[in-house]
Structure 1
């Protein structure tokens, strides 16, 4: 039975990794060992679990059912491991963290060293990506997400709010003027996220007062740090998340334009620390969340 449990875990890792070689790398064994364990599991199950070719594989009908059971087994093992960590006297182990690229660069990464100094027995593996991942499939313990609503089936702690701000350099504003109303933005060069759903139609509000303005631009960028760099080069007025411009605002490199105006939803969101729900949250993860909240 113990050998079969090991074979089931290896089979699940093969499917999650996408190849035998990738699974071997994750498990720290050679590829032939992984292949032998999968073959033994097939013998136990009395049928083929994979249709293999030289470059890829596909799950058979039996393989799909067996993988579902193996995945539940692996998840139960992870929850048991987290249970052990939650009762430790102090946080220990590795925390795998995922965060949006720019938020991770400018806000999260600079704060992690303080956490590591506070908890010397904890290591962090931070991955920055803007795509939404499945925490279980990717083996992520904690994900930072900025969203109005979170997908069901996740536990989360709110870390704060994010709002968009308009910024420009003092030099640009001296040369082109400082807008006092949103309608004046149409006369300026504006830079914003190219993939944003709102495009060049910006809905803004101040209290109960609302307006919509169409802006003009010759430049859109899919990264807010790059937008700020273009603004610092005198490129115009940039629309960026507040955390992107925080340091530049503090040093006076840029000024906030129309600070009493907000972008209408959905152009703002909450910042969440997201994790897989369970009865027991590992002490290391709880410690990191608490640290970020401070």
Structure 2
């Protein structure tokens, strides 16, 4: 146990590439660093470093000792992270990424409650529909809507998601409500229209399954905009349920063919994803738990 400090300083010398750089990193004098390394060499009974005025290299013993010191420091950091995860209150900044409309309609309204519960935590929310790299973009937690998640990520399910057909009362009064999926072909319909979100829809009701192809004069790549269009009475909109929830609750929109469910690609689940690790930061764990309970 008496060698722990010397081992940490020796590892810093190797990682920094020299005594002076290690001293600057540690905030001590170069001579102090040299004394600690010398004591470690004396205790181990062998040279760890070959030093010249211009270079520094490890001896065979030094390579083995440095590997052991690196493992020791890694373990120490894990213990520190464990303590921070379980014994402290959540604190610090959480950087969160979410799809635009889900962030606007579902996530953002729930964040004030979380901030009120955890006054020492700040949230930096970025809304973006592209799939971001958590490590590269410095994101602690991302919300993903998908049937399958990318490998290499840990995830907690938040809630199920389904696409729904909605229309304004004025549209239904003028054009009538379709009674079957086949009748949708005679209506004005608006959907996302990009990537896999095309005009060929597969719907299921119990044991029944039908397919219908929609010829639409207007597609919009944003579900909030489709909801806004539908509220004007311009079309029947196909949107995620969270996008239409407020308008349905207020009566501005009404469900269409509510007993039918859409298949691929108009289906998925919503997950909170994060970089896997042995010890998840307490602030991130707290936000995930809060969102799961609020779902």
Unaligned runs of 5+ in 2: 1-11, 22-53, 57-73
Say which one has the larger Rg. Answer: 2
Match of 1:94 in 2: 93
Which structure 2 residues correspond to residues 13-162 of structure 1 after superposition, within 5 A?
83=82, 85-162=84-161
For residue 130 of structure 1, give the secondary structure of its aligned residue in structure 2: coil
CA deviation string 1:113-164 (max 9, x = no partner): 0000000000000001011111111111100001101111111000011000
Is the CA contact (8 Å cut-off) linking 2:169 and 2:233 kept in structure 1? Answer: no
Match of 2:213 in 1: 214
State how many pairs are aligned: 229
Q: 1:236 to 1:171 in 2, by over 3 A?
A: same
Superposition RMSD in Å: 2.5
Match of 2:184 in 1: 185
Shift of 1:183: 0.3
CA deviation string 1:71-93 (max 9, x = no partner): xxxx9999888545313421111
For residue 155 of structure 2, give the secondary structure of its aligned residue in structure 1: strand
Is the CA contact (8 Å cut-off) linking 2:165 and 2:257 kept in structure 1? Answer: yes
Shift of 1:207: 1.3
Match of 1:67 in 2: none
CA distance in 2, matches of 1:151, 1:286: 20
Q: Does 1:176 align with 2:175?
A: yes
Q: 1:189 to 1:77 in 2, by over 3 A?
A: farther
Q: 1:292 to 1:221 in 2, by over 3 A?
A: same
What is the TM-score when the length of structure 2 is the normalising length?
0.72
Match of 2:230 in 1: 231
For residue 166 of structure 1, give the secondary structure of its aligned residue in structure 2: strand
For residue 191 of structure 2, give the secondary structure of its aligned residue in structure 1: strand
Unaligned runs of 5+ in 1: 8-42, 46-74
Which moves more between the two structures, 262-271 or 217-226?
Answer: 262-271
The 4+ residue runs of structure 1 with deviation greater than 2 A are 1-5, 75-85
CA deviation string 1:96-119 (max 9, x = no partner): 000000000110001100000000
